[in-house]
Structure 1
Amino acid sequence: MEPPTMAESPPAEQLESVLHTTVETSTNWSLDPPTEAARKSVSLHWAEILSLVVALVGLVGNSIVLWLLGFRTQRSPFSVYILNLAAADALFLGSYFGLRMWVIVGDLDLVILDQLGRCLLGLSYRMGLSLLAAISTERCLSVLFPLWYRCHRPKHTSAAVCAILWALQGLFSGVFGALYFLNKDDLDDFYFVFDLVQFSWFLLLTCVLGVSSLTLVLRVQCSSQRRRPPRLYLLVLLTVLVFLLCGLPLGVFYAVWSFKGFPIMFYGLSRLLACVNSSANPFIYFFLGSQWRRRGREPLRVVLQRALGEEQVGSVGGRDTSHPNTLDELS
């Protein structure tokens, strides 16, 4: 999700506000008293620094998850989703950190920076939301239709869904960026359609995410009276909750800005919350996978497998083997 691009060249103040080459979020601050404007600038300056620190920490955490799931563990249907979610979060955090550092230390073309931000950050944000909706929907189906999910779910569903989502989001961002540079003078209607499609996709996936998550909450609430809910259910619910609290404000900010022309909150705060959302997932995985009563340190690979519902059940030929916990015993 990104600020709308108009066919006409925006005023310099608005372009600087969109790209945040200063610590201000609105040119209207020039009307504020000097002390009030200085206080707001200082607060947003620290928000900017904090967002860069959070992005760097989250980039390291998601890189660890990518390494473990990509090269150190046996993949399961659910781990494929988590692998792609970590890739989307790492792309968002890496792009944000790189673009902000480029603004701070480099002499660059603001138009190019704007388009890179729109393509990279928009792609990774929409991809993260799409993957969360797919994850929660699949967990919801496993609860509502456990027999079908066990016996008739296609084997490569996770990989196919992830590939389709990456292709759609990549095509969307690629076409937008290409057309902007090819002919940006006669595309007012085109940009409006893009904003409308983008908002519709955001609204649809948010509704799907909310309904499927609410179904999981009710299922976990009913089953918790009989037994402890599996870690994977808690993992999905916590990940969705963090997105609703931290990731959703950025999408709402852009949606309102696209159609109303004014922000409903400071962009610096929404960026900081979005960085927290993308950085929090690895900590959720390792927190849920840890066994605090067990003494001694466990490999991160084992902790991550436990969080994803993969339990070590034995060894074959000297190697540990694992099987995915279907988590359908609640049904």
Structure 2
Amino acid sequence: MSLLIPGILEFIISLVGLAGNAVVLWLLAFHMQRNSFSIYILNLAGADFVCLCTHMVTSIMDLVGYDKLSSSNLSQVFLVTFVFPYVASLSLLTAISTERCLCVLKPIWYRCHRPKHMSSVVCALLWALPLLLTVLNMGFSGVLFGELNMYLYRLIDFIIATWLIFSFVLMFGSSLVLLIRLLCGSRKMKLTRLYVTIGLNVLVFLLCGLPWGINYFLIVWMTNFSFREFFKVYIVTNVLTSVNSCANPIIYFFVGSYRQQQRQQRKTLKLILQRALQDIPEEDGNQGSPPQETLEMSGNIHVA
């Protein structure tokens, strides 16, 4: 019974999140011209989609009764598998905020010297690294080969935890720099929808996504922490991670549709997503949608 309510919550949240991220993937992959930041958003939606698929399966397992499936050791398989999209999601969000920070601090370099396919290469590396660590983790934990190597298993866990800490510090630092540049300094930047989108993505991850990593990779190392307490915290953080993966499409819809006063133009999902990634400040007298070519410049910095 202790897993019934969390399982139902996970299932409902996962359904909503899968639909939202599927729409984002469909629009960015087939119906919008991609730029440096929309490539990151596309990959982030993919990572969230995989996260929610894992949540969906585990919630179904909880609802039907895991005791019936315990012989196949599915719990450990899905727990280790979830690490892959979780690490990828944090890494991609870190890349988004870091590149945006470089775009603001080094605008000349970003405009003139940034490699053309940098976003695609970075995304490929950020998918490959967590995939490799997950496969090694599954191998050394006995999930793949049936032989547990505790030393190497702990070593891979330590490497993953170190990477998560590094990514968090980098993401938090770059986001803080952007916030300072927006609010302070002699040359304040004008707020754009892209800044709001990135800021909300980071904030939701800090509130809902980060606790799972802290619980799984740090608290589990504490020998004086009982399994019962760990399990209670794990259930709560598991639900929060599903909220984190579900929230990003909702953020895009909210930011893209906020203060849209142009009556003549139909509010399509494509237009809303384009506005959420808009990097051009809106003037007080012009709250409508900028032209298509302007929206597709969201990878470039606006210099006031």
In the alignment, which of 239, 260, 278 is matched to residue 292 of structure 1?
260
In the alignment, which of 87, 100, 105 is matched to residue 139 of structure 1?
100
TM-score (norm 2): 0.85
- Residue matched to 2:285: none
Q: Conserved in 2, the CA contact under 8 Å of 1:133 and 1:208?
A: yes
In the alignment, which of 217, 239, 243 is matched to residue 255 of structure 1?
217
Q: Does residue 1:237 correspond to 2:204, yes or no?
A: no
Count residues with an aligned counterpart. Answer: 284
The 1:326/1:115 distance shift into structure 2, 3 A limit, reads same
Q: Conserved in 1, the CA contact under 8 Å of 2:175 and 2:199?
A: yes
Q: Conserved in 1, the CA contact under 8 Å of 2:10 and 2:55?
A: no
Q: Deviations over 1:141-191 (max 9, x none)?
A: 001101000111101111100101111111111222234232524x11111
Separation in 2, partners of 1:270, 1:306: 32
Q: Does residue 1:324 correspond to 2:297, yes or no?
A: yes
Q: Does residue 1:270 correspond to 2:237, yes or no?
A: yes
Separation in 2, partners of 1:65, 1:224: 37
Separation in 2, partners of 1:224, 1:328: 17
Q: Does residue 1:84 correspond to 2:4, yes or no?
A: no
Q: Does residue 1:128 correspond to 2:89, yes or no?
A: yes
- Residue matched to 2:177: 215
In the alignment, which of 138, 144, 147 is matched to residue 184 of structure 1?
147
The 1:306/1:224 distance shift into structure 2, 3 A limit, reads farther
Separation in 2, partners of 1:145, 1:166: 26
Separation in 2, partners of 1:281, 1:121: 18
The 3-state SS of whatever aligns with 1:329 is coil
Separation in 2, partners of 1:154, 1:114: 42
- Residue matched to 1:317: none
The 1:239/1:175 distance shift into structure 2, 3 A limit, reads same
- Residue matched to 1:71: 30
The 1:109/1:224 distance shift into structure 2, 3 A limit, reads farther
Separation in 2, partners of 1:143, 1:80: 19
**How high is the sequence identity, in percent, across the aligned residues?**
41
Separation in 2, partners of 1:231, 1:58: 22
- Residue matched to 1:13: none
Separation in 1, partners of 2:196, 2:185: 12
Q: Does residue 1:171 correspond to 2:120, yes or no?
A: no
Q: Deviations over 1:261-318 (max 9, x none)?
A: 435662221111111111110011111111432336411111101111277536xxxx
Aligned partner of 1:59: which letter? L
Separation in 2, partners of 1:128, 1:155: 23
Q: Does residue 1:94 correspond to 2:53, yes or no?
A: yes
Separation in 2, partners of 1:308, 1:134: 16
CA root-mean-square deviation: 2.4
- Alpha-carbon distance, 1:220 to partner: 1.4
Separation in 2, partners of 1:330, 1:110: 60
Larger radius of gyration: 1
